[in-house]
């Protein structure tokens, strides 16, 4: 390798590193700005000094309740759930090497939703029970999908098809539950299914925060293995990756954060579907898009909630806005994949 070639390689690596750092800085700045907007904006607009005073524990007339009790938990729910959906979606899409292989499409979110709606409609359970049921439902669903898709060998296509079938069954079950639901349970179930952040409380967010603190470092540690899995089963094995062990660790970690995020905010549509591809495009090659996907997920949820609250005369749940954004992209992706012969 001559000096010119080595110099070109070093320059290319440096350029990619600068691009990654710049991207991370920009994403963090946008996330911070949207968080500030969530705390400041509303029927009453509070200045920065009042918001800071409330966050520091000082008593500010009017702002203490509005910012501390209403806006701060909502902002934190947007931030954490968006990050969880973004990271979880990126793990699934990368590991399964298919942009359609995200928790919304292959039924994992539907599993959490079905369990939660069952608890709301049939059991009239507490929020704690609903959260636990949503997590268990997500884990059970991915276990069933993974078990059916793994025969003599693991098949990505089989997993996706089985996941889509399971999702259809779960959606039918949810529809049945809504039909038999009592009138006073319907608004709660519908609000939950649409991905609503109304009435969010700190105590309901803390489990998600704790789980993200535990699972995000695990996913970051296995990010290199995740990129190898994207090369294919044989290539990853030849590079020394214990594919079954790594895949199970990634699946469990991703499903846990997605299921608990779903339990916290409801199934916010298309975030796990959109965040990964956007992150890949802006980060480029050479670096993992895991954390950027989480930040983009948070940005999408924060931005969609602001739009849903203030852009229209009627306030819309955040899931309605993300659905409007994500549905056209799904149609575009399906048309593109069909033209390329991938479906």
Looking at the domain assignment, is residue 302 inside a domain? yes
Per-residue pLDDT at 81: 92
Distance CA 72, CA 55 (A): 9
Token readout for 335 is: 């048309």
Is residue 154 helix, strand or coil? Answer: strand
Kindly state the tokens that stand for 310: 């203030």
Asked, for residue 106, whether it belongs to a domain, the answer is yes
How many CB atoms within 10 Å of residue 287?
18
Residue 248 lies in a domain: yes
User: What φ, ψ does residue 154 adopt, rounded to 5°?
Assistant: -80, 130
d(CA 38, CA 168): 35
Coil vs helix vs strand at 313 = coil
pLDDT of residue 80: 94
Residue 337: per-residue pLDDT: 64
Report the run of H or E that residue 56 belongs to, with start and end. none
3-class DSSP state of 210: helix
Q: What is the number of alpha carbons within 13 Å of residue 329 lying toward its C-beta?
A: 17
Q: What is the pLDDT along the chain (343 residues), one digit of tens a residue?
A: 566 676 676 777 778 888 888 999 999 999 999 999 999 988 888 888 888 888 888 888 878 888 888 899 999 999 999 999 999 999 988 887 777 777 777 778 888 888 888 888 888 877 788 888 888 888 888 888 877 776 656 667 777 788 888 888 988 998 898 888 888 878 878 877 777 777 788 888 888 899 999 999 999 988 888 877 777 767 777 777 777 788 888 888 888 898 888 888 888 878 888 888 888 888 877 788 899 999 999 999 999 999 988 888 888 888 888 888 877 877 777 677 667 655 5
Q: Would 98 be classed as within a structural domain?
A: yes
**Long-range pairs, 97-100, Cβ under 8 A, ≥24:** 97/156, 97/229, 97/230, 97/232, 98/156, 98/160, 99/273, 99/276, 99/277, 99/333, 99/337, 100/160, 100/333, 100/337, 100/343
Contact 302, 79 (CB under 8 A): yes
C-alpha span between 206 and 209 (Å, rounded): 5
What pLDDT does 160 receive?
78
Q: Identify the pLDDT of residue 30.
A: 95
Range of the domain at 332: 33-339
Residue 285 lies in a domain: yes
The DSSP bridge partners found for residue 150 are 154
Domain CATH code at residue 98: 1.10.3470.10
CB of 261 closer than 8 Å to CB of 140:
no
- CA-based angle 183:189:192, to the nearest 5? 150
Q: Computed from CA positions of residues 65, 314, 305, 121, in that sequence, does the dihedral angle turn out positive or negative?
A: positive
Domains of the chain: total:
1
In a domain, 22, yes or no: no
Specify burial of residue 183 (Cβ count, 10 A radius: 0-12, 13-18, 19+).
Answer: exposed
Q: Is residue 5 part of a domain?
A: no
pLDDT for position 262: 86
Q: Which residues pair with 154 in a beta bridge?
A: 150
Angle at 333 between CA 327 and CA 336, to 5 degrees: 145
């Amino acid at each position: 390798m001559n000096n010119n070639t080595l110099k070109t390689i070093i320059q290319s690596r440096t350029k990619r590193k600068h691009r990654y750092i710049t991207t991370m800085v920009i994403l963090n700045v946008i996330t911070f700005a949207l968080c500030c907007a969530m705390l400041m904006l509303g029927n009453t607009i509070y200045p920065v000094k009042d918001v800071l005073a409330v966050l520091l524990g000082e008593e500010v007339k009017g702002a203490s309740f509005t910012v501390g009790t209403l806006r701060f938990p909502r902002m934190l729910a947007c931030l954490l759930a968006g990050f969880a959906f973004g990271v979880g979606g990126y793990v699934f899409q990368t590991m399964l090497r298919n942009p359609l292989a995200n928790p919304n499409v292959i039924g994992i979110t539907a599993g959490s939703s079905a369990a939660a709606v069952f608890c709301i409609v049939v059991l009239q359970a507490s929020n704690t029970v609903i959260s636990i049921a949503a997590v268990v439902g997500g884990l059970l669903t991915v276990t069933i999908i993974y078990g059916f898709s793994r025969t003599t060998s693991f098949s990505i296509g089989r997993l996706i098809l089985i996941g889509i079938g399971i999702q259809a069954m779960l959606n039918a079950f949810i529809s049945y539950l809504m039909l038999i639901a009592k009138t006073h349970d319907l608004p709660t179930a519908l609000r939950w299914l649409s991905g609503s952040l109304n009435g969010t409380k700190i105590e309901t967010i803390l489990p998600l925060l704790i789980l993200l603190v535990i699972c995000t470092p695990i996913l970051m540690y296995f990010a290199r293995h995740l990129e190898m899995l994207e090369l294919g089963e044989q290539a990853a094995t030849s590079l020394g990756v214990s594919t079954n062990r790594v895949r199970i660790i990634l699946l469990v970690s991703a499903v846990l954060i997605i299921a608990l995020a779903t339990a916290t905010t409801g199934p916010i549509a298309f975030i796990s579907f959109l965040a990964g591809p956007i992150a890949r495009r802006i980060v480029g090659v050479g670096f993992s898009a895991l954390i950027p996907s989480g930040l983009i997920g948070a940005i999408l949820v924060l931005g969609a909630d602001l739009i849903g609250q203030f852009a229209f005369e009627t306030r819309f749940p955040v899931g309605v806005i993300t659905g409007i954004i994500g549905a056209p992209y799904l149609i575009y992706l399906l048309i593109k994949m069909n033209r390329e012969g991938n479906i």
